[in-house]
Structure 1
Amino acid sequence: MTTDRLPATPAATAGYVKLPTIPLPDGTEVLSGGEAWLEALRIAEERAAAAPLIAVDVYPGADVAAIAAGIAAALPHAEVIDVEAAAAAAPEVIDALIGRNLTDDRVFGVMSHFTVDEFYDADKLGELRARVADRRSAVVLVGWGADLAACRGADALVLVDMARWEIQQRLRGGAANWRATNHDEDALRKYKRGFFVEWRTADRHKRTLFDRIDLLVDGNAAGADAGAVSGDAFRAALLGATSRPFRVVPFFDPGVWGGQWMKDKLDLDPAADNFAWCFDCVPEENSLLLEAGGKVVEIPAIDLVLSRPRELLGERTFSRFGAEFPIRFDFLDTMGGGNLSLQVHPLTDYIRDTFGMSYTQDESYYMLDAADDAVVYLGVKPDVDPGEMFTALRAATDGKHPFDAERYVNTYPAKKHDHFAIPAGTIHCSGANSMVLEISATPFIFTFKLWDWDRVGLDGVPRPVHLDHGERNVQWERDDQWVEQNLVGQVQEIRREPGLVEERTGLHELEFIEVRRHWFEQEAAHDTEGTVNVLNLVEGDEVEIVSPSGAFAPYRVHYAETVIVPAAVGKYLIRRTPNSRSERFATVKAYVRGTLDSDV
């Protein structure tokens, strides 16, 4: 990210803020381009007994050649060594190593547990270490795993980090996976390799670096635009983020069913055909913008989860999920678009046994907005014959025998502020002309498409369906009667006071996420009670989150913005601002069920 991406006066930006920031400590200097490498050399020279050694550990997906060239230009007297070129295992060796995890499927693999050293040739790595040990002048090691070649003995350690969203963009644009030759491969297969292998390994590796790095460099940017901050500033900013509300940087993506609501309401590019998705709280994918003096450094939001899980998630949620953010908020825009794919998510036992995931993708649709004809497809109709239905679905894959979804699947009218629970195993999809706030668990790629309305993807290739997986997970007892008793209209009033109503809008008892909606005129009191809260302003123009003790400055929230309130915050108020024009407001708040005394 360029260091001048931040608007000059972000506090004055009206409406939905697309580039929220997190403050760096007072006095932090954001370095640009070659300044970072000069600072790394300065640090190394202060510590070195002889020739300084700098390790620049690079997240897979960053442009190592460009980074090395930038270092060489800034430090012309240093030897710059591409660790990957010098010692990585051959592509065919890596392919054989990870083949079982990738499988032959276009979308799904098996979660891996590799360590980065397994992707290096031990003999070549040993030779490189010996070469470094015998250096007579400054040496800079560059690449994923550079710290390995330094044997943790570098005089200065730099991490060039990247957000997964930026990596996805590069993969779509023709970049290959790490040390692979798959530039022209299907983007879904490249994403699969990242999701199941590379990013898991890279996150485990960089987690060992966080406490030691001297500099953090923004790998999302390039060349002279790349910002950098000291390791101390990076760590302090992340610790500070756990003591107050914050937002990740949302990203928006088109789709074959995408709509127009977000373009109009969130001030997006009016020339775009559509926007289908917005990931507004998916720390595995989203970024954080660390800001000082009007300059920003973009880092992956997962860095906060990995480095400060207890303060962010709370002890009880951390003990249950580890350093993983379990709650996802995102938008699905079909206003003026089309139906989502008809789909089902895997049961917990199935996702664990088949893909190695520890929990599944339970979810819900909260209707942020809806046209008069909006519907949600949910559950099977009474007495559906499973064999007949899946025979019809398989026949539809030839593109000549459209699947009659309404014959087999229930449809329910959907209006603004309705909330539909969708536990794993339930057939579902949102119809056209809806604006869905999806509140769900985080394993977000585990969707078994059953029918996609005879569409192809934006790349012109038919979107994948997974009928065998789907057939093994559909819960056939979830017919209209069960759905109406358990998943539709499940609103329970919890308390009512003058100007305030709190409701449980209800995910099903099989799901681990609790959702509370607060309607209020002036303010509503909250308490994290030791677990992370995620909330969205679903009614009203703007509010602010305030600490009763003044522990943090008031944090302004606009309509449709998703905010994370870390567990460490404790008590907080959400109240109208002096500029609010709305008569009443509503937030929906999600947290892990069973971690608050107020659950019952």
Structure 2
Amino acid sequence: MSFMFKPLAYDDHTAINRPDIPASVREDIVFGTVQSAKCIAEKAVSLLESGKSGCVVAVDGYASAKFSDLSGALSQAVRQRGCRVVLRTMDEVYKPVEELDAMVAECLPLNYGEDPVLLFGKLYEGSFSDFIDRGKAEKLLEEMRNLPEKTLMIFTGYGSTSETFSALTDLKVYIDVTPKTAAVRAREGKLINVGDKTPGPFAELMRRNYFVDFEIILKNRKRLLTQNEIDFYICGDHDEDFVLMSGQDLETILTSLARYPFRTKPVYLEGIWGGEFIRKVRRLPSEYKNIAWVFDMIPMEVSIVVDADGREVEFPFFTFIQKCPLPIMGEKCTERFGGYFPIRFNYDDTYHSSGNMSVQVHPYESVCKEYYNEKGSQDEAYYVIATGHGAKTYLGFNEDADPAEFVALAKQSEKDGSDLDYAKYVSHIDSVPGRQVMIPGGTIHASGRNQLILELGSLTIGSYTYKMYDYNRRDAEGSLRPIHSAMGEKVLRTERTSDWVRENIAIEPIPDGEGDGWKQYIVGKTDLMYYQTKQLYLEKKAEFSNNGQFTVLTLVDGEEVKVYSKSNPEFCYRQKFLDIVVVPASITDYVIENMGYQPAVVHKTMLRTDD
């Protein structure tokens, strides 16, 4: 799994959810930036005309939100109603750039020995208040308290709705942006780090985003959502076509959606080892080559789309989670993982590609917490969906291998580009469709060429892949891909050999129930990881219980299945080949019905209940 630094700008319009939204809510949705501004202006002016001498509208948002587009239209609309306007921005109250850089430096260490291209960092634990100069803030607060009669202050910027200013804000507007759009804007130089004056170099900007800016922005958004403080919510992906709704209508839409099986909108990324399977199956435009990763359900990176009378309304998926954690994940999961969706799903595509994924290892819990301030281990799992000739999955060390020798050669290769006979040291299993392997942190592994893998991962907010060997390949810009042998050596569990792999993390399927036209098997389970996987062979239909939590379904073979609530069949989703669908905890018992002419195979993922 990779950070979403350079997603393709392509929009996949197949992942549409159609919950039953009340007609009154659908009719209240406002489309268009100017129309949205007029709606907010009407409310603000009504407050001024009701006796308030002055009114403050705070306009906050996710990274890359276009505040100027809205504030300009809002200012014009208010002046046309005969009111005065005062414009203020968060830039006026941030601490100096040099002070902010020093403050976050601990989260962005310059440790080139362990992190040669400075990809990793430590998650920031503070909030917007740390970025605000108290003297400057007090001066602005005093101005808010003493606004002249019939005067509207439009206060914009990251943190304008934060607790520092919340009590004196009359209307709170939040411009949300999907992570993909934010990443595209960053690549185009349209995103500035919180408190900065100009965009920094792309790699530095995105590193700080992931470990600092996104953290404080998401904490503030969660507070606004959970405390129902948003008066107007805007879907802000499209500059001239904002979509506005009231905070109450946002809650109605998302709580309605949380009763349905749902699918998130995938994001596609090219990579040096990318393949052709997903591109062909999903009919992606021919100009996109080497699709390496498909972020189908990476909770912090994807979005969710709702149909509103034929118009697509798109929200960041994590906004959905922050607003509706209990109906989506259940009480135990929400409490255990702090309100984060604890499993991620993406496709790794090396089908008919130029080579393997890198030989790599991920950190386990103690390293994740110490180095990155993460919540737990970065564990993964591979499920083989399709293979070409000679496909292999590399996992663990060979029984007769010397891991210390492997590490020494990996370090030498990192220095001088010498070739490494990785197959002499790293064991492999032949890949066949339906094979599941679990990959707890510390396990050496790689997905070989010529296969499509469903990759699952545990909850780490960031992504930490220590490449031990990458075949001396160069990236699209011609640079050697970074190797992390120093950190890899720290976490390698050298006792995990081929025998240990077969006994512990590449188990044979275990029967787990059958009925009329279906059989189910446990295919992935280990005490070292908190989720497990199952494989359902389905000819007709089968019923299952969610056990107070969620289940994630992937159609890995077959044409189409329908997933629906047993007690409320109208809560349904028609799932196509390779779609990943979440059955939320709000659905107690669910049905999977095969809608195709051939048998279907459904991969199922859920939290272990025997922890």
How high is the TM-score relative to the length of structure 2?
Answer: 0.90
CA contact (8 A) 1:6 1:19 kept: no
State the Cα deviation string for residues 150-191 of structure 1 (Å, max 9, x = none).
Answer: 43332221101122222222222334423336735242x332
CA distance in 1, matches of 2:357, 2:493: 20
1:128 maps onto 2:128 in alignment: no
Local SS of the residue matching 1:147: coil
Contact 2:513–2:521 (CA<8 Å) still a contact in 1? yes
Equivalent position of 1:41 in the other structure: 41
Gaps of 5+ in 2: 1-9
Q: Secondary structure at the match of 2:479?
A: coil
Q: Is the 8 A contact 1:30 1:297 kept in 2?
A: no
2 CA distance for matches of 1:399 and 1:67? 53
Give the RMSD, CA atoms, in angstroms. 2.1
Q: Is 1:85–2:91 an aligned residue pair?
A: yes
Task: State the match for 1:265 in structure 2.
Answer: 281
Q: Distance in 2 between matches of 1:329 and 1:317?
A: 17
Instruction: Give the SS at the match of 1:253.
Output: strand
1:196 match = 211
Gaps of 5+ in 1: 11-16
What does 1:369-388 align with in structure 2 at a 5 Å threshold? 369-388=386-405
1:36 maps to a residue whose letter is S
* CA distance in structure 2 between the aligned counterparts of 1:492 and 1:40, rounded to whole angstroms: 58
Residue 161 of structure 1 corresponds to which residue in structure 2?
176
> What pairs up with 1:124-523 in 2 under 5 angstroms?
124-136=136-148, 137-148=151-162, 150-174=165-189, 175-180=191-196, 183=199, 185-187=201-203, 189-210=204-225, 211-222=228-239, 224-337=240-353, 338-443=355-460, 445-523=463-541
Q: Does the C-alpha gap of structure 1 residues 25 and 150 become closer, same or farther in structure 2, counting only changes over 3 Å?
A: farther
User: How far, CA to CA, are the matches of 2:84 and 2:601 in structure 1?
Assistant: 58
Q: Which amino acid aligns with 2:434?
A: H
Secondary structure of 2:500's aligned partner: helix
State the 1:225 CA deviation: 1.2
> What is the number of residues matched between the two proteins?
579
Structure 2 vs 1, CA of residues 81 and 150 (structure 1 numbering), >3 Å: closer, same or farther?
farther
Q: Is 1:527 matched with 2:545?
A: yes
Query: Measured at CA, do residues 69 and 453 of structure 1 come closer, stay the same or move farther in structure 2, by a change above 3 Å?
Result: farther
Partner Cα separation in structure 1 for residue 314 and residue 252 of structure 2: 15
Contact preservation (8 Å) 1:532, 1:591: yes
Distance 2:387 2:86 in 1: 57
User: What is the CA distance between 1:19 and its match in structure 2?
Assistant: 4.6
Closer/same/farther in 2, CA of residues 453 and 184 from structure 1, 3 Å limit? farther
How far apart, CA to CA, are the structure 2 residues paired with 1:400 and 1:412? 27
| Matching residue of 2:570 | 552
- Which letter maps to 1:455? R
Q: Retained in 1: the 8 A contact 2:34–2:70? A: no
Distance 2:202 2:35 in 1: 38
- In structure 2, the CA distance between the partners of 1:468 and 1:78, relative to structure 1 (3 Å rule), is farther
How has the CA–CA distance of structure 1 residues 68 and 509 changed in structure 2, closer, same or farther, with 3 Å as cutoff?
A: same
C-alpha distance after superposition, 1:41-75 (max 9, x if no partner)? 22233344223321111223223344433433444
Check the 8 A contact 1:20/1:249 in 2, yes or no: no
Code of the residue aligned with 2:499 in structure 1: it is Q
Offset from partner CA, 1:472-495 (integer Å, 9 cap, x none): 111111111111222224311112
* In structure 2, C-alpha distance between the alignment counterparts of 1:208 and 1:82, rounded to whole Å: 23
The equivalent position to 1:111 in structure 2, one of 123, 136, 144, is 123
AA aligned opposite 2:577: Y
- Cα 1:588–1:114, aligned 2, differ >3 Å: closer, same or farther? same
Distance in 2 (alpha carbons) for counterparts of 1:380 and 1:74: 67
- Paired letter, 2:495: E
1:371-396 CA deviation, whole Å, 9 max, x = no partner?
12111111111243333211111111
Question: Distance between the aligned counterparts of 2:361 and 2:244, measured in 1?
Answer: 43
Paired with 1:502 and 1:404, the residues of 2 have a C-alpha distance of 39
- Read off the aligned partner of 1:462 and give its amino acid letter: L
Cα 1:190/1:404, change in 2 over 3 Å: farther
Give the secondary structure class of the aligned counterpart of 1:276. strand
Question: Partner of 2:65 in structure 1?
Answer: 62
Structure-2 separation of matches of 1:477 and 1:107: 28
Q: Tell me the amino acid that sits aligned with residue 316 of structure 1.
A: K
Distance verdict in 2 for CA 1:55–1:18, change over 3 Å: same
Letter in 1 for 2:373: G
- Secondary structure of the residue that 1:257 maps to in structure 2? strand
Larger displacement relative to structure 2 (347-356 or 450-459): 450-459
How do 1:572-583 residues align onto structure 2 when only pairs under 5 Å count? 572-577=590-595, 580-581=596-597, 583=598
Question: Is the Cα–Cα contact under 8 Å of residues 24 and 233 in structure 1 kept in the other structure?
Answer: no
Q: For the residues of structure 1 that align with 2:68 and 2:558, how far apart are their CA atoms? A: 49
Decide whether aligned partners of structure 1 residues 59 and 525 sit closer, same or farther in structure 2, where only a CA change above 3 A counts. Answer: same
CA distance in structure 2 between the partners assigned to 1:545 and 1:63 by the alignment:
38
Return the letter of the residue paired with 1:242: A
Shifted more, 173-182 versus 518-527: the winner is 173-182
2:54 is aligned, of 44, 51, 57, to 51
Change (3 A) 1:268 1:78: farther
Q: For 1:180 and 1:234, locate their aligned partners in 2 and report how far apart those are by CA, in whole Å.
A: 31
Distance in 1 (alpha carbons) for counterparts of 2:11 and 2:386:
30
Structure 1 Cα separation of the partners of residues 575 and 230 of structure 2: 33
